[in-house]
Amino acid sequence: MATTQITTHKNYIGGQWVESVTGRTYQVHNPARTDQIVGEFQTSSADDALKAVAAAKEGLAIWANTPAPARANVIYKALEILGRRTDEMAQTITIEEGKPISDAAGEVKRAMNIMEYAAGEGRRMFGYTTPSELPNTVAYTVRRPLGVVGIITPWNFPLAIPAWKIAPALICGNALVFKPASATPLSAVKLIEIFEEAGLPPGVLNLVTGPGGQVGTALVESTDVKAISFTGSTEVGTELYAESAKRLKKVQAEMGGKNAVIVLSDADMDKAMGGIVQGAFGSTGQRCTATSRVIVEDGVYDQFMAELIDRTSKLTIGDGIDPSIDVSPLASQSQKDKVMEYIGIGTEEGAKLAFGGHALSGGDYDQGYYVEPTIFTDVSPDMRIAKEEIFGPVLTVFKAKDLKEAIDISNSVEFGLSSSVYTKDITKAYEYINTVETGMVHVNASTLGGEVHLPFGGLNSSGVGQREQGTSMVDFFSEVITVYIDHAAEVSERARFI
Ligand code: NDP
């Protein structure tokens, strides 16, 4: 990407690319090469957000009355356009977020999967009919859009998370105001271009870039916005949920994680190792489903640690645009500072630094936010590094005497997003599935990811409100209306009790 020619990207409101009313812009840099400017974006204010809400109200009038299968056609068209732009979109993700290009390509695929799945819902969108208790009466349910919906997303999946909110919201007939993370607005701009080219009517999907405290807050506070779909930190999500509740808004908030893997003595060690190394250090640990804790049964602990350190030491670190790279830079200076701070905290708390622990410098490393994959052992569940989300390439390892103790450690955090156990014992696997406190549970697989036709989300501080994706996406993005039709020819005695 050229550093000399900087493109200024605009907001998209009412089908027009427009500047912010503030007249201000900000720049985004490549986290692997900070001298490369990804682009310039609008520093929007609450006024821009409210203009977008007004435009969305107009778009809603058209879109809500478009039959769902016809809405699906627009999403299918967008899917086709995205399919033509996959390489470009993967590069955009890597250049603005920093993740390895293979992870970015996987993210594009994930976005395409959800668009395909959501479009398919256009021919389902089921209600149900049921016998009425009264004669000559028909009773059934239909789904209706919520209205104007605010979409607020984080930087770590700049394409997939917006796609897995926007496509479901659109198929249900809503009009949207989309506020992407300030750190990664280029993928968002391109996603809007794709929907524009696909023929989405003006006002149905609006984009406003700029600070969450301004643009996001305005969406939460506007009474014209009927629902918010948020993914981000537990801190912001908790506040957003409380403020939305005061205004009786529907909210889904997907938030942080502190995901644990349990390795039992009978585990397939090779399989476990692959899942853990990828789970902990893939995408530089900046996935909400990343593995940040491993709890190993006593009997295999020494063997496990030796293999874990050996595998981790072989990871290549560099600019994610190079396909041979395993671990790329953190997404920003503040991410790097936070990770280094936690490495310091872990050391002070008395955990043992078994691998890594340093920021990388010299040569190309001076250009980006590089931190070594880091492993702490001798970690106890009450340490901060054991409880708090670090969101970087830092793995904490615990020892447990049996499955019961391992599950207790796994459940000892406030988060509850994803978890995994490696064992060949089906009885132990089921004991784990039935007692571990996370929204997504894996057996003999990494804590990462999920499939778009299954619900995605967490318990406790990891998530609140209806799950994303799967059939629950329609439940969140639509209202259920109950209809009673009296088709009797004559007036009759009719009684309902409520
Ligand atoms: P933040 O909570 O900082 O930001 C998320 C979004 O909220 C951004 O668009 C941000 O805008 C916006 N925002 C910030 N302040 C406000 C506010 N007061 N009102 C409304 N919106 C606001 O999270 P990050 O972007 O740092 O993302 C990382 C977090 O996301 C991690 O905790 C991670 O675990 C979580 N995450 C959870 C997932 C899940 O499904 N459970 C999936 C992926 C990530 P701005 O960028 O301008 O600050």
pLDDT higher than threshold 70 for residue 393: yes
Q: What is the DSSP letter of 375?
A: E
In the predicted structure, residue 496 carries a pLDDT above the cut 70 = no
Q: What confidence category does residue 498 fall into, taking pLDDT thresholds of 50, 70 and 90?
A: low
Residue of 99, 151, 152 to mutate, ligand 1, most atoms within 8 A of C-beta: 152
Q: Check pLDDT > 80 for residue 494.
A: no
Q: What is the pLDDT of residue 1?
A: 47
Local confidence band at 3 (pLDDT 50, 70, 90 cut-offs): very low
Give pTM, 2 decimals.
Answer: 0.97
What domains are there in the chain, each with its CATH number?
Answer: 11-255+462-482 (3.40.605.10), 259-443 (3.40.309.10)
Percent of the chain with pLDDT over 70: 98
Instruction: Give yes or no for residue 449 CB within 6 A of ligand 1.
Output: no
231 lines ligand 1 (CB under 6 A): yes
E strand or H helix at 260, and its extent? strand 259-263
Q: Which residues pair with 395 in a beta bridge?
A: 375
For 445-465, what is each residue's pLDDT tens digit? 999 989 999 999 999 999 999
Q: Does residue 458 have its Cβ closer than 6 Å to ligand 1? A: yes
Whether ligand 1 lies within 6 angstroms of the CB of 152 is answered as yes
The ligand 1 atom at the shortest distance from the C-alpha of residue 219 is: 20
Q: What is the pLDDT of residues 24-53, one digit of tens each?
A: 999 999 999 999 999 999 999 999 999 999
Whether ligand 1 lies within 6 angstroms of the CB of 225 is answered as no
pLDDT value at residue 169? 98
**The pLDDT of residue 278:** 97
How remote is the CA of residue 36 from the centroid of ligand 1, in Å? 24
From 233, 235, 440, give the residue whose CB has the most ligand 1 atoms within 8 Å, as the site to mutate.
233
Q: Is 155 in the pocket of ligand 1 (CB under 6 A)?
A: yes
Burial of 265 (0-12, 13-18, 19+ CB in 10 A): middle
- The amino acid at 494: R
pLDDT digit string (tens) for 350-368? 999 999 999 999 999 999 9
Per-residue pLDDT tens over the stretch 398-439: 999 999 999 999 999 999 999 999 999 999 999 999 999 999
Asked whether residue 165 carries a pLDDT value surpassing 50, the answer given is yes
Given a contact cutoff of 8 angstroms between Cβ atoms, the answer to whether 259 and 417 are in contact is yes
**What value does the mean pLDDT of the chain take?**
96
pLDDT above 90 coverage of the chain, percent: 97
Tell whether ligand 1 has an atom less than 6 A from the beta carbon of residue 417. yes
9 vs 89, 198, 208, 264, CA distance in Å? 16, 20, 11, 51
Average pLDDT score over residue span 91-115: 98
Residue 197 alpha carbon to ligand 1 centre in Å? 28
Tell me how far the alpha carbon of residue 233 lies from the centroid of ligand 1, in angstroms.
5
Ligand 1 centroid vs 288 CA: distance in angstroms? Answer: 11
C-alpha span between 326 and 101 (Å, rounded):
10
Distance between Cα 464 and ligand 1 center (Å): 14
Question: Residue 280 is encoded by which pair of tokens?
Answer: 């902990």
Q: Rounded to whole angstroms, how far apart are CA atoms 402 and 356? A: 28
Neighbours of 305 (CB within 10 A): 18
pLDDT for residue 275 is more than 60: yes
Tokens of 237: 């999500």
Mean pLDDT score, 157-180: 98
Residue 372 tokens, joined: 């070594």
Q: Helix %, strand %, coil % for the chain, to 5? A: 40, 25, 35
